[in-house]
Structure 1
Amino acid sequence: MWTIPTFFVAALAEIAGCFAFWAWLRLGKSAVWLIPGTACLLLFAWVLTRVDVDFAGRAYAAYGGIYILTSLIWLWSIEGQRPDRWDMAGAMICVLGALVIVMGPRTG
């Protein structure tokens, strides 16, 4: 099943794209950051449509849990801020919810 890895790729693209805008507006970086940022956001939208889920709303709901976990990995690896136990507990709850949505049996 490629759904979960695809969610991670989409999350990384979305976070990188949003971070480029954050860097420009909040960190005083050059507007040139918006070029790769926009490309990353376009990549995110395209990748998320590759998920093998029948309904967009279900894909977005499940993606949310993976996005949260990936955001905390970004927080630690890129921004240098270690997530605390509350961050991790919240992420695990969300990932569990995402797995329930993706793996749950469908009747029709």
Structure 2
Amino acid sequence: MLKTTLLFVATALAEIIGCFLPYLWLRKGGSILLLIPAAASLALFVWLLTLHPAASGRVYAAYGGVYVATALLWLRYVDGVKLSVYDWVGAGVALLGMAIIVWGWRGN
């Protein structure tokens, strides 16, 4: 479970970075050269999703829970926004959903 979760966190960071860099270019006046590492980060994101042994739909569903929690941590530590108790509870619920789905991989 820990290995899967860490892989999902790496996957989420690759996706978030791959989307954040074009945002910097389009909305914050960043260099168009940001699209190069953005594309590489999104390619890494896709590759990381293929490393799981479960069917793709299950991987995407479980990944979603980790993505939610990782995105909220990004919001806190990169964007500097203080998270509410609702953010933390929502992240916990999302991670619980991921854990239930991943636990079910054992039976299939």
TM-score of the alignment, normalized to the shorter chain, above 0.5:
yes
**Contact 1:3–1:52 under 8 Å retained in 2:** no
Q: Percent of aligned pairs with the same residue?
A: 46
Cα distance per residue 1:55-100 (max 9 Å; x no partner): 0000000000000000011111111112111111111111111110
Contact 1:17–1:39, Cα closer than 8 Å, also in 2: yes
Output the amino acid matched with 2:66. Answer: I
Q: Which residue in 1 is equivalent to 2:42?
A: 41
More helix, by proportion: 2
Q: TM-score, normalised by structure 2?
A: 0.91
- Partners of 1:44 and 1:83 in 2: CA distance: 26
**TM-score of the aligned structures, taking structure 1 as reference length:** 0.91
What aligned pairs does 1:1-108 form with structure 2 within 5 A after superposition?
1=1, 2-53=3-54, 55-104=55-104, 107-108=107-108
* 91 and 35 in structure 1: CA distance in 2 versus 1, 3 angstrom threshold: same
Distance of 2:33 and 2:57 partners within structure 1: 33
2-structure distance, mates of 1:51, 1:9: 13
What stretches of structure 1 of length at least 5 have no aligned partner? none
Shift of 1:106: 5.4
Q: For the aligned residues, what is the CA RMSD? A: 1.4
- Amino acid in the other structure paired with 2:67: Y
